[in-house]
Amino acid sequence: MIAVDWGTSSFRAFRLDAGGRILERRAAARGILTIEGGRFAEELLRQVGDWIAGGATRILMSGMIGSRQGWQEAPYLACPAGPAEIAAALVRVPFDGAQVLLVPGLTHSDAAGTPEVMRGEETQIAGVLGALGRDGIACLPGSHSKWASIANGKVAGFATYLSGEAFAALRGHTILGRMIKDGPTDPSGFARGLARSADPGHLLHHLFGVRTLGLFGRLSEAESGSYLSGLLIGHEVRAALAHGGGTVHLIGSTALCALYAQAIEACGAQAEIHDEDAAARGLAMIGRDASWN
Amino acid sequence: MIAVDWGTSSFRAFRLDAGGRILERRAAARGILTIEGGRFAEELLRQVGDWIAGGATRILMSGMIGSRQGWQEAPYLACPAGPAEIAAALVRVPFDGAQVLLVPGLTHSDAAGTPEVMRGEETQIAGVLGALGRDGIACLPGSHSKWASIANGKVAGFATYLSGEAFAALRGHTILGRMIKDGPTDPSGFARGLARSADPGHLLHHLFGVRTLGLFGRLSEAESGSYLSGLLIGHEVRAALAHGGGTVHLIGSTALCALYAQAIEACGAQAEIHDEDAAARGLAMIGRDASWN
């Protein structure tokens, strides 16, 4: 089986053996936004045509490739949903030479009736169920961070936080950016922003501190970016863990997960960081549950 | 006396009689950022030279003209401070033909020791003390909204919320912007965003609803911008009034003040909207307390 995680900005493929182990992997900066004229089939052949020629007959794909902007829409599946429910809702796309199936995203409504969506993350979450067990919390930090509660081995519900994109917009397009010099994460700045997120007062007020602390020479340009990051991540994590903690299973880039783990531990919860192959493991698990014919 | 409110992006001048009544007014898009090479004296002459030639000998100026980027820095005065304390801390700048004094901004530290600053707003607040009385709340909505608590006729403390600038950055530079069509305020969209701000969950989570409600066809492009505005203003007002309400004295543009008044009333408090001549009235009051020689 070939497992493909095809997102907005990148394409990752894994050749798996019958037991779901990764035999070979490939990555390319060929996200769906870079594919012109809907030539997804051509691109798939270009990336993994040799694996297909070598005998692979099943291709399972997750991510934005199943969105309205992708190859074909795989409609959102309502929570609660786990690997078995996802496997039963795969969408077949026409392709010569192999069976190609798309993983649907998930949707959920909060108590106030506001909808939520994820696409791709459901597969990564499936990939950590082995470690997470049947109940727990998964967090996928990023531009649009997802926090999912897992119950009985299924995604029971989830919430998205715009923290990553808000950081970029505030950093790049407000007066706060003038106080910030880009650079590697500054541990002291991050810790100070994280501590500030626990103070009374709203995020919209805390943000202005990036400016005033800088004006009074109490926050350096090298610290300011990490302070802003600590402030946003701290607010997100505190809000997400407001109703209880335990162990949070983090899935994402190592550097970002380490910052989230620090924030989670500052809130009195525990963090376990998973590698970025969670998508491949999730696709293997969903693939096992799927009917391929 | 000539009262000048000289900010980052605009210049406003008022010719006042001895009783502080406005005899004549002028405005120009000549904020301090548009003045090259520090030629503030030349610009002042260009704007009100005829009033000086006509006999005005005293010019009192508030706003960013007294900042490090302005004519000369008038150092921040610590709270609590009212018109008398401000009048005692005016800074004289050299100018031929009239006495020119700068109003200092105010500073304050919150319980956690994070500093706050305002410059220009202290003068507008002085201008509404007649209506506000000796104790109450003033709010100056805008890019950096200020909420000040007034006690014994002085600004006791204040907090800044980055709501206006955050709106522009989120509107212009995140995925939310794709859901938004610019246009006049949509009352239904604003009311829905305002209501959403009262739901459980953090602002960073609520923001994503602009996208998901749009994706599911439950929020139109015409409503989305006002929904985002209602969400941010609602969060700001709820946070600012968390420790009690009463009457909030709003100072600013009529349209923005009306939206804030709606949010304040939704929180169970009252709002009173003041006109934009508050700065002129505040300068008159400070000018009366000032020693001009």
Predicted local distance difference test score (pLDDT) of residue B292: 84
Residue A55 confidence (pLDDT): 94
Residues 6+ apart with CB under 8 A from A94: none
Subunit contact B170:A175, Cβ cutoff 8 A: no
Check residue A292 and give its pLDDT: 84
Phi, psi of B109 (to 5 degrees): -115, 135
pLDDT value, residue B170:
97
pTM: 0.94
B146 contacts B157 by C-beta, under 8 angstroms: no
A109 shares contact with chain B (CB less than 8 Å) = no
Q: Return the structure tokens found at A280.
A: 């491949």
B115 in contact with A, Cβ within 8 Å: yes
> What is the predicted pLDDT for the residue at A197?
98
Selection from A69, A101, A233, A264 nearest residue A167 by Cα: A233
**ipTM > 0.90?**
yes
Cβ atoms of A59 and A103 within 8 Å: the answer is no
Tell me which residues of chain B, numbers 182 to 201, contact chain A at a CB-CB cutoff of 8 Å. Answer: 196, 199-201
For residue A75, say if its preceding peptide bond is cis, omega within 30 degrees of 0: no
Residue A114 to residue A288: CA distance in whole angstroms: 33
pLDDT at res. B146: 98
Q: Is A94 helix (H, G, I), strand (E, B) or coil?
A: coil
Indicate the residue type of A267. Answer: C
- Is the separation of the CB atoms in B259 and B227 below 8 Å? no
Proportion of chain A above pLDDT 70, given as a percent: 100
Strand partners, A106: A77, A118
Cβ-Cβ contacts under 8 Å between A and B: the total is 134
Distance CA B236, CA B238 (A): 6
Backbone φ and ψ of B102, nearest 5°: -105, 135
Please report the pLDDT score of residue B261 as a whole number.
Answer: 98
For chain B (293 residues), the mean pLDDT of every run of 10, in chain order, is 95 95 96 95 97 96 96 97 97 95 96 94 97 95 96 97 97 94 95 97 97 96 98 98 90 96 97 94 95 79
| Tokens found for residue B228 | 């985002």
Tokens of A166: 């808000």
Q: What is the pLDDT of residue B59?
A: 98
Name the residue facing A202 among B165, B200, B236 (closest C-beta): B236
Residue B101 to residue B61: CA distance in whole angstroms:
6
- Cβ separation of B239 and A205 shorter than 8 Å? yes
Whole-number pLDDT of residue B245: 77
Question: Distance between CA B222 and CA A33 in Å, rounded?
Answer: 26
- Which pLDDT value is given to residue A210? 97
Tokens of A194: 């994280």
Are B204 and A161 a contacting pair at CB < 8 A? yes
DSSP string computed for A250-282: EES-HHHHHHHHHHHHHTT-EEEEE-TTHHHHH
- How much is the pLDDT for B291? 83
Could you give the CA distance from residue B261 to residue B255 in angstroms, rounded to a whole number? 10
**Domains of chain A with CATH codes:** 2-132+282-289 (3.30.420.300), 163-274 (3.30.420.310)
Q: Which two tokens stand for residue A219?
A: 């926050």
Q: Which residues in chain B have their CB less than 8 angstroms from residue A204's CB? A: 161-163, 166, 203, 232, 235-236, 239
Averaged pLDDT for residues A136-142: 97
Alpha carbon B76 to its chain's center: 16
Pairing of strands B91-93, B99-102: antiparallel
Return the pLDDT at A140: 98
B69 contacts: CB under 8 Å, gap ≥ 6: B32, B33
Q: Does A293 have pLDDT greater than 80?
A: no
Distance from the Cα of B169 to chain A's closest Cα (Å) equals: 5
Q: Taking residues A114-130, what's their average pLDDT?
A: 97
